[in-house]
Amino acid sequence: MFRASLTLLLCLYITHSNAAALNRLPTQLNEIRQQYQIGALAWALVEADTTVQQGGLGFYSLTKQRPVTAHSVFRVGSLTKLITGLSLHQLAGQGLVELNAPLRQYLPDIPLHNPTAIPVTLNMLLEHSAGLQDLTRVEFDYPQPLSLGEAFKVAPQARQVQWPPGLHHSYSNAGAGYAGRVLEQVTGQPWDRWVADNLLTPLHMSDSGTEYSDLLQQQLVTGYDTDRTTPIPYWHTLFRPFGALNTSAADFSQLLKLLINRGQYEGQLLLSSKQIQRMEQPQSTHAARLGHDYGYGAGIYRWYRNGKLLLGHGGDGDGYLAHFAYNPDSQRGMFVVINAYHYRALQALRAPLEKWVTAPLPAPDIDVLPLTTEQLAPLVGRWQAVTSRFTGRKHQPATLTTRVQNGQLSYIEEGRSTALLAVSERRFRTAEDGGATHLFFVDKGEMYWQSDLGNYRRQP
């Protein structure tokens, strides 16, 4: 009797604590907004098939003192890649595309120079493993909207495979452009219209769209640069499937419900549970073929907060930053967007929201596999980066060094040492991770190391 009463009291305490934390969130978010002097933000929290909280803080612009709400429209940049991934998987479910088929099967004449014998597939393009670098400056800054067919004519010489397709993940916005063009080819419809009819409308995302208009400009919360005072003009993303989505917190919560409920929305099956699972982890990389499930799927990637798994994506909309995260086991998800290019502010806002998402999950309990110095020896040495997102621009350390310290493998970055804990002989994690996030493998006689740090090859 005493034990049952104690259990009931504990459940009531946890329920009360969760409710209190939820009630404190708007105040907490507003304090962070004011601390970083962010003009406007919006957020949404979803549990199962219910939006449990949503709202907006601040005003539409420094001069337009109209209060922001959960229905205010922001640009969310690369969160659009979730839409593109969902679209291609819908088409695959209808038998209109084969995701492992070569791109050339659908677009034989599109610019793509591939000197390797390995064909680029749709899965590779969705998962950023096609061997492509990102867009050129001319493409990023293109000043007017174009159809996808016209967009590929802007810098066709830049569409070159730089390393073997499927070997490495390296982020490239071009992949979503190819995927969107395939959609147009097999459906006979413009990408924007197909997305509106087959995703935005069924999900009741009435605030959302992917095309520019004068009406949209009037409805849009103004986006600002890092200084939070310089407005940034509307960014006409050259390939709209990588970053054109304009949406609200209320609307994006519907996408979270679709993911959390494994492809179902209000009793309608838009995708199968298996398709959602496929989107949540890489399929096309060498690492995936080795059983390593950490990395980038089709518009969804993985990371850990306090050792607990989160799935989602971030977005930069030129004047806006956004992020969404969810966990299928907790059945919770979050979305947040701000109207300033200020990553520290977004990081601070994400923390309490992601903590709420992972709160029901148990603390990870992962054994550290003891490895001998002899077992670790092949992983010790100097490592050279073998991929780069942009030509001539550094986005990862050019070199890293690994060594054995206190019986564990560790790497040195900018003079700082980070221990890698063994999950297996070739898969490792940091102390903050709840699963393997670093993979070492041999391909064609070369030792590679892949992680969120980048892609590296061991030097002799």
Q: Check pLDDT > 60 for residue 6.
A: no
> Cα(379)–Cα(354) distance, rounded to whole angstroms?
34
17 Cβ partners below 8 Å, 6+ apart?
none
pLDDT of res. 10:
43
Residues 27-63 have pLDDT tens digits of 999 999 999 999 999 999 999 999 999 999 999 999 9
C-beta of residue 12 within 8 angstroms of C-beta of residue 4: no
3-state SS, 2-35, equals HHHHHHHHHHHHHHHHHHHHHHHHHHHHHHHHHH
Domains recognised in the chain with CATH numbers: 77-358 (3.40.710.10), 373-458 (2.40.128)
Q: Check pLDDT > 90 for residue 190.
A: yes
pLDDT of res. 19:
80
pLDDT of res. 8:
52
pLDDT of res. 415:
87
> Cα(54)–Cα(253) distance, rounded to whole angstroms?
9
Residues 72-101 have pLDDT tens digits of 999 999 999 999 999 999 999 999 999 999
C-beta of residue 140 within 8 angstroms of C-beta of residue 97: no
> How far from chain centre, in Å, is Cα 347?
14
Residues 251-295 have pLDDT tens digits of 999 999 999 999 999 999 999 999 999 999 999 999 999 999 999
Tokens matching residue 137:
């400056």
> Cα(378)–Cα(355) distance, rounded to whole angstroms?
38
> What is the rounded radius of gyration, in angstroms, for the C-alpha atoms of the chain?
23
pLDDT of res. 21:
82
Query: Could you tell me the pTM of the whole model?
Result: 0.94
pLDDT of res. 403:
97
Residues 112-136 have pLDDT tens digits of 999 999 999 999 999 999 999 999 9
Mean pLDDT of the chain: 95
31 or 4, which is more confident: 31
Q: Check pLDDT > 70 for residue 5.
A: no
pLDDT of res. 367:
87
